[in-house]
């Protein structure tokens, strides 16, 4: 019996590969997407009631590539009989819980998505990939796409426990956290702010003291100016890809403020809450402290240092939530191929314009990636809206024909001097 060979096998079903599966559904490509968990669930520990998606709903799984797809967010609303409520809701930013429900609805309709299927090994043999699922079954595919997302990053000096958790697991631990006497939230990004707001709002029911510390110089707002946001466009990614390694690396730091920080609505809600609570006197059991790094937690004491003044102090605490970010999840089987891959540096592999990881051999079967792309495609590497474009590029490459029309010149800004409008008659010098 001849073996079934897929054109593309996706590892992981987060929003990125789910979007790929939804776009591929209309094509003749034979695809299979594998997820270790039993169902789709988007960062469940952070599905805080009242929290919103940080991108407009148009950055759903498919709209940018194909607004006529049955898997758009608007079609989801239509099927839920929620279009009218959404019409009167009049907002572009939708609840995170609703995005999760929408994505579950899409996943349930796609026969190419298989759950309870952990990819335990991938090897390349005779121009195909052999993908091992749950240590026993073998799937054959011409190409593989890595969509394993990210894993929580704990700072040095902290061991995860029931009392010390990463923000990724907040909701699962919330009841236990609220039994503490002093809860400390560490970090100054969106997750830290949402958790602080939630704990502040419910503080009176439990009576804990609450502290919010960050090493950053302030609790700053995420850039939301429209022209600033244009770096989250395909045009910017196309420009960024042409830059040298050194320039890409340094511009990641320069553009950090575009995706880090807290959205204006959350910061406002926190401030309003603090203001209302201060009417009869400023609260002494809420501490909000920037410029302060935390260096470890021992015997119920948090080791802290106000770095600008160089003053170290210990903060007694019995619950700590580290909203200290994520790092790309590179599975063991990928790291076993390490020597065969070309790397830009010790963290980032080289990828080509179609998001293929570049191997030293000239293989016909390709390993595409949606993960660990920061250095290759810039600050928008994990942006939901940009993932749709990336999926179009990859599906075109897998099909070896233009299944999707890749639109250019989509924003008002010009990033490269190589594309300056002819009407200005500019004289260029240099490269």
Ligand X SMILES: Cc1cc2nc3c(=O)[nH]c(=O)nc-3n(C[C@H](O)[C@H](O)[C@H](O)COP(=O)(O)OP(=O)(O)OC[C@H]3O[C@@H](n4cnc5c(N)ncnc54)[C@H](O)[C@@H]3O)c2cc1C
Q: Which 43-102 residues touch ligand X, going by CB under 6 A?
A: 43, 46, 53-55
Of these, 72, 75, 112, 148, which contacts ligand X (CB under 6 A)?
148
Helices 96-109 and 15-24 pack at an angle, to 10 degrees, of: 40
Q: Residue 323 and residue 325: Cα distance in Å, rounded? A: 6
Q: Which stretch binds ligand X (CB under 6 A): 21-29, 135-143, 302-310, 381-389?
A: 381-389
Contacts with ligand X by CB under 6 A: the residue count is 32
Closer residue to ligand X, CB minimum distance, 182 or 377: 377
Strand, helix or coil for residue 83: helix
Task: Write out the H or E segment, with its range, that includes residue 140.
Answer: strand 137-146
Strand, helix or coil for residue 162: coil
CB of 370 to ligand X, least distance (A): 5
The values of phi and psi at residue 23, to 5°, are -70, -40
Q: Which stretch binds ligand X (CB under 6 A): 8-16, 73-81, 158-166, 204-212?
A: 8-16
Q: Residue 316 and residue 152: Cα distance in Å, rounded? A: 25
Closer residue to ligand X, CB minimum distance, 155 or 289: 155
How remote is the C-alpha of 58 from its chain's centroid?
17
For residue 334, the number of C-alpha atoms closer than 13 Å in the C-beta half-sphere is 24
Closer residue to ligand X, CB minimum distance, 25 or 318: 25
Q: Which 103-142 residues touch ligand X, going by CB under 6 A?
A: 118-119
CB of 386 to ligand X, least distance (A): 8
Strand, helix or coil for residue 142: strand
CB of 29 to ligand X, least distance (A): 19
How remote is the C-alpha of 166 from its chain's centroid?
16
Q: Which 400-419 residues touch ligand X, going by CB under 6 A?
A: none
Closer residue to ligand X, CB minimum distance, 128 or 373: 373
CA distances in angstroms from 421 to 278, 424, 425, 426, listed in the order given = 55, 6, 8, 8
CB of 387 to ligand X, least distance (A): 7
Closer residue to ligand X, CB minimum distance, 208 or 236: 236
CB 149 within 8 A of CB 329: yes
Of these, 216, 289, 331, 354, which contacts ligand X (CB under 6 A)?
331
Task: Write out the H or E segment, with its range, that includes residue 121.
Answer: strand 119-125
For residue 4, what is the DSSP state? P
Closer residue to ligand X, CB minimum distance, 354 or 374: 374
Strand, helix or coil for residue 322: strand
CB of 76 to ligand X, least distance (A): 17
What beta strand segments (E) does 334-393 contain?
A: 367-369
Q: Does 36 bind ligand X (CB under 6 A)?
A: yes
Q: Residue 179 and residue 84: Cα distance in Å, rounded? A: 41
Of these, 6, 25, 129, 147, which contacts ligand X (CB under 6 A)?
147
Strand, helix or coil for residue 141: strand
CB 298 within 8 A of CB 227: no
Write the binding mask 333 to 372 for ligand X: x where contact by CB under 6 A, - elsewhere.
Answer: -------------------------------------xx-
CB of 119 to ligand X, least distance (A): 4
Closer residue to ligand X, CB minimum distance, 45 or 184: 45
Report the residue count for the chain: 431
Residues whose CB falls within 8 Å of the CB of residue 408, separated by 6 or more in sequence, listed in order: 234, 235, 238
Closer residue to ligand X, CB minimum distance, 58 or 291: 58
Residue whose entry in the numeric block shows the structure tokens 């830290």:
192
CB 8 within 8 A of CB 142: yes
Q: Which 170-229 residues touch ligand X, going by CB under 6 A?
A: 191
Q: Which stretch binds ligand X (CB under 6 A): 15-23, 196-204, 220-228, 340-348?
A: 15-23
CB of 108 to ligand X, least distance (A): 15
Q: Compute the C-alpha angle 386/392/393, nearest 5°.
A: 95
Q: Which stretch binds ligand X (CB under 6 A): 38-46, 106-114, 154-162, 359-367?
A: 38-46
Q: Which stretch binds ligand X (CB under 6 A): 30-38, 179-187, 238-246, 312-320?
A: 30-38
Q: Which stretch binds ligand X (CB under 6 A): 1-9, 35-43, 123-131, 235-243?
A: 35-43
CB of 148 to ligand X, least distance (A): 4
Q: Which 282-321 residues touch ligand X, going by CB under 6 A?
A: none
Contact residues toward ligand X (CB under 6 A) are: 11-17, 34-37, 42-43, 46, 53-55, 118-119, 147-150, 191, 326, 329, 331, 370-371, 382-384
């Amino acid at each position: 019996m001849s073996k079934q060979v897929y054109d593309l096998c996706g590892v992981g079903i987060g929003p990125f590969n789910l979007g790929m599966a939804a776009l591929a559904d209309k094509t003749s490509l034979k695809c299979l997407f594998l997820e270790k968990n039993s169902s789709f669930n988007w960062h469940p520990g952070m599905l805080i009631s009242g929290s919103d998606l940080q991108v407009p709903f148009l950055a759903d799984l498919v709209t940018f590539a194909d607004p006529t797809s049955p898997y758009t967010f608007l079609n989801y609303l239509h099927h839920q009989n929620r279009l009218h409520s959404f019409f009167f809701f009049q907002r572009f930013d939708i609840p995170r819980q609703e995005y999760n429900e929408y994505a579950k609805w899409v996943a349930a309709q796609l026969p190419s998505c298989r759950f309870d299927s952990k990819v335990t090994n991938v090897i390349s043999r005779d121009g195909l990939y052999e993908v091992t699922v749950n240590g026993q079954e073998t799937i054959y595919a011409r190409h593989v796409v890595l969509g394993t997302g990210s894993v929580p990053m704990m700072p040095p000096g902290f061991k995860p426990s029931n009392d010390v958790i990463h923000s990724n697991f907040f909701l699962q631990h919330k009841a236990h956290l609220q039994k503490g006497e002093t809860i400390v939230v560490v970090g100054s990004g969106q997750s830290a702010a949402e958790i602080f707001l939630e704990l502040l709002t419910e503080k009176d029911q439990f009576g804990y003291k609450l502290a919010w510390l960050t090493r950053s110089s302030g609790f700053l707002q995420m850039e939301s100016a429209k022209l600033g946001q244009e770096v989250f466009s395909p045009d910017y990614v196309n420009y960024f890809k042409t830059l040298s390694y050194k320039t890409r690396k340094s511009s990641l730091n320069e553009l950090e403020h575009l995706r880090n920080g807290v959205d204006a609505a959350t910061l406002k809600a926190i401030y309003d809450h603090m203001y209302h609570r201060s009417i009869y006197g400023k609260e002494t059991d809420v501490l909000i402290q920037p410029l302060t790094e935390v260096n470890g937690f021992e015997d119920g004491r948090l080791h802290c240092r106000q770095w600008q003044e160089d003053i170290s102090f210990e903060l007694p605490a019995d619950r700590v939530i580290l909203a200290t970010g994520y790092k790309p999840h590179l599975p063991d089987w990928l790291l076993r191929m390490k020597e065969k891959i070309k790397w830009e540096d010790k963290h980032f592999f080289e990828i080509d314009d179609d998001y293929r990881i570049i191997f030293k051999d000239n293989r016909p079967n390709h390993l595409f990636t949606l993960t660990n792309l920061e250095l290759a495609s810039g600050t928008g590497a994990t942006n939901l809206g940009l993932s749709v474009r990336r999926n179009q590029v990859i599906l075109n490459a897998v099909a070896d024909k233009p299944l999707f029309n890749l639109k250019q010149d989509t924003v008002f800004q010009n990033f490269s001097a190589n594309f300056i409008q002819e009407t200005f008659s500019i004289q260029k010098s240099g490269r």
